[in-house]
Amino acid sequence: MKLNQNSKNAIKQFKHLSHFVISDNQDDGFLDLFLLPINARNFNYNYVSDNLIESVADYSLSWRIREKYKDKAMMLSKKAREKFKECERNDGELGELLLFCFLEGHLEAPKILTKLELKTSNKLYVNGSDGVHLKKIGDKKYHLIFGESKTYEELTKAFENAFKSINEFVKEINSKGESKSGIEFERGLISTNMEQIIFDEDDEDILNLLLYPENRHSSDITLDDAFSIFVGYEIDITKEQKELSSDEFPNKIEKKVIFQIENYKTKIYELIEKYELIGYTFYIFVMPFTEIAKNRKKILERVLE
């Protein structure tokens, strides 16, 4: 399957601090903690923006569209940014882009659908996942990964809302108990909207299964639903900025956020139980920000200028 090289390049700027398992059962999934680049005892948000620019087209446009405009770089950039700006009023748009980059660049799970394309193709589709990716986990074994991103000040609120959204997506109801489009509706869109160009000749079996899901029970391929979550949350590093040297600062911040997530990780399985999501595998990516409301906007403004 074909991956976007830009995604790998985009996440190289983030330091991979820790890899945590969610429970004793490896099939419940894991959490990976990353840290933003640091410059002069501050997170370097301009550097983040500059390294995300190339991924905007990969996230917001299909392989087919990008191939069509491959020799027209300025037009491709224009179309990508216009598409991405359709979501600009949504506070989650940076998280959606970062989740895409981590799924492709770290997990090596290529995109087969994006939220932006689905919204365009069906105006009724407004509450689905942020994107759908495919991960090969073994011989004839795959995960169909539905993405969810949350960027909030509070870590607890971000995780709570992420699992609540996934619960509603799976049960196909909203917070009021009313029916809404969800996982079954989204699966139904895959055969007509997915990025077929990502598949190689060796992927013919899984491609046919995705195109003709009615053949699932007669296939020797295992295709399980899974979820990925990106959580961005806010930390205060003012004390460390004042007290530490430039050499000491990165180590102190790393220890601080690792300690936070180590203390919180046991609550993740409690949320899986609370929202009746046992059985699914979760791929979780977490990254702290300072002044998250201001800086997520700053990053996107620079990416889209």
Q: pLDDT tens across 137-167, in order?
A: 999 999 999 999 999 999 999 999 999 999 9
Contact in structure between 268 and 31 (CB atoms under 8 Å):
yes
Asked whether the predicted pLDDT for residue 268 surpasses 70, the reply is yes
Question: Which tokens in the block code for residue 34?
Answer: 């990353």
Please, which pLDDT band fits residue 187 given cuts at 50, 70 and 90? confident
pLDDT for the residue 78: 75
Q: What gap in Å lies between CA 35 and CA 25, rounded to an integer?
A: 26
Asked whether the predicted pLDDT for residue 92 surpasses 70, the reply is no
Please, which pLDDT band fits residue 173 given cuts at 50, 70 and 90? confident
Q: What is the signed CA dihedral for 91, 268, 277, 119, rounded to 10 degrees?
A: 10
Asked whether the predicted pLDDT for residue 252 surpasses 80, the reply is yes
What average pLDDT does the segment 100-119 reach?
83
- Choose the weakest-confidence range: 22-26, 48-52, 181-185, 234-238: 181-185
How many C-beta atoms surround the C-beta of residue 167 within 10 A? Answer: 18
- CA 223, 224, 225 angle in degrees (round to 5)? 125
How many C-beta atoms surround the C-beta of residue 78 within 10 A? Answer: 12
What average pLDDT does the segment 93-112 reach?
93
Q: pLDDT digits over 26-84, tens only?
A: 999 999 999 999 999 999 999 999 999 888 888 877 777 777 777 777 777 777 777 66
pLDDT for the residue 121: 43
Q: What gap in Å lies between CA 119 and CA 107, rounded to an integer?
A: 25
Q: What gap in Å lies between CA 262 and CA 243, rounded to an integer?
A: 24
Q: What gap in Å lies between CA 279 and CA 89, rounded to an integer?
A: 34
More confident residue, 155 or 185: 155
More confident residue, 127 or 46: 46
Question: Which tokens in the block code for residue 102?
Answer: 């981590």
Asked whether the predicted pLDDT for residue 240 surpasses 50, the reply is yes
Asked whether the predicted pLDDT for residue 179 surpasses 50, the reply is yes
Question: Which tokens in the block code for residue 7?
Answer: 């995604």
Contact in structure between 198 and 119 (CB atoms under 8 Å):
no
pLDDT for the residue 124: 39
Q: What gap in Å lies between CA 5 and CA 70, rounded to an integer?
A: 15
- Kindly state the DSSP code that residue 265 receives in the 8-state scheme: T
Instruction: Choose among 169, 120, 174, 178: nearest CA to 146.
Output: 169
Q: What gap in Å lies between CA 54 and CA 6, rounded to an integer?
A: 6
| E-strand stretches of the chain | 15-21, 29-35, 38-39, 42-43, 111-114, 131-138, 141-151, 222-234, 281-289
What average pLDDT does the segment 229-246 reach?
94
What average pLDDT does the segment 290-296 reach?
93
